[in-house]
């Protein structure tokens, strides 16, 4: 259930019987022809759908993350590692203060993953609070479903082109872009990155059938739900 659809008294009643919560985190950054908010949209949506039958509350997704390498693309915004880790720590402090003891962070952006060390540091000072960090798109079952559909899949390719991330009026090319070498990306300057990757797709087709995408989506929702349900 979305926090946006609850009031404080309802949340207080929930906390009397459960201590789980979901915090989606994403990024606002170039995604070739897809929405700038792709990572945010997907992390929040997979969280809401996964949590729904469990009745676990889901906070509004954090739309901003760490993505300095895409700064030459208009619309991208990036937080410094200091700001981002401070923000996550402040959010965890607030959640813990209210009695949440099991926090699932559902991440939609690879560049946010380094915040895990700040989370581990926070957890060391808060015995009794468990925080799991779940990269929904490359979790084992979801990644397997992606690879079985088309192994040439990457940032801003078909694998992120869902009915809820593609844009009306935009034509998505039919061809397959050759996979680029992105191993040095995070040490390149933003203009060099833009020159190297062009439209923003790292490699692969630009779209797949809705049937294929919805099948991958249902695997991702199930896998995220299992993270909320168990393994704490």
Contact positions vs Zn ion (CB under 5 A): 38-39, 160
The two tokens of residue 51 are: 């949590």
Q: How far is the CB of 6 from Zn ion (least distance, A)?
A: 28
| Backbone torsions φ then ψ of 65, nearest 5 degrees | -140, -155
* Residue with smaller CB distance to Zn ion, 19 or 160: 160
Q: How far is the CB of 213 from Zn ion (least distance, A)?
A: 14
* Residue with smaller CB distance to Zn ion, 10 or 138: 138
In terms of C-beta density within 10 A (0-12 exposed, 13-18 middle, 19 or more buried), how is residue 53 classed? exposed
The number of helix segments (H) and strand segments (E) in the chain equals 7, 3
Q: What is the 3-state secondary structure (H, E, C) of 37-106?
A: CHHHHHHHHHHHHHHHHHCCCECCCECCCCCHHHCCCCCCCCCCHHHHHHHHHHHHHHHHHCCCCEEEEE
Q: How far is the CB of 108 from Zn ion (least distance, A)?
A: 6
Q: Which of 230, 228, 229, 231 is nearest to 104 (CA)?
A: 228
Q: How far is the CB of 155 from Zn ion (least distance, A)?
A: 6
CA distances from 54 to 8, 101, 119, 224 (A): 19, 16, 25, 12
| Cβ-proximal residue to Zn ion, closest one | 39
Instruction: Please report, to the nearest 10 degrees, the dihedral formed by the alpha carbons of residues 22, 70, 75, 60 taken in order.
Output: 0
* Residue with smaller CB distance to Zn ion, 160 or 223: 160
């Amino acid at each position: 259930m979305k926090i946006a659809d609850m009031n404080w008294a309802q949340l207080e009643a929930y906390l009397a019987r459960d201590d789980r919560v979901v915090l989606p985190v994403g990024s606002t950054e170039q995604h070739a022809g897809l929405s700038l908010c792709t990572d945010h949209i997907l992390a929040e949506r997979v969280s809401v759908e996964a949590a729904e039958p469990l009745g676990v509350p889901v906070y509004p997704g954090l739309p901003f993350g760490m993505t300095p390498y895409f700064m030459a693309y208009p619309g991208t915004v990036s937080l410094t590692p200091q700001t981002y880790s401070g923000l996550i720590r402040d959010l965890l402090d607030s959640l813990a203060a209210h009695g949440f003891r099991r926090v699932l962070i559902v991440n939609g952006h690879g560049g946010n993953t380094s915040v895990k060390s700040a989370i581990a540091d926070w957890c060391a000072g808060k015995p009794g609070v468990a925080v799991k960090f779940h990269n929904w798109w490359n979790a084992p079952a979801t990644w397997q479903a992606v690879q079985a559909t088309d192994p040439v899949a990457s940032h801003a390719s078909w694998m992120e082109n869902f009915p809820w991330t593609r844009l009306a009026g935009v034509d998505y090319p039919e061809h397959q872009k050759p996979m680029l070498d992105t191993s040095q990306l995070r040490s390149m300057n933003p203009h060099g990155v833009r020159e190297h990757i062009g439209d923003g797709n790292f490699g692969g087709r630009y779209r797949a059938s809705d049937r294929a995408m919805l099948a991958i989506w249902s695997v991702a929702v199930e896998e995220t739900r299992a993270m909320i349900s168990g393994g704490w």
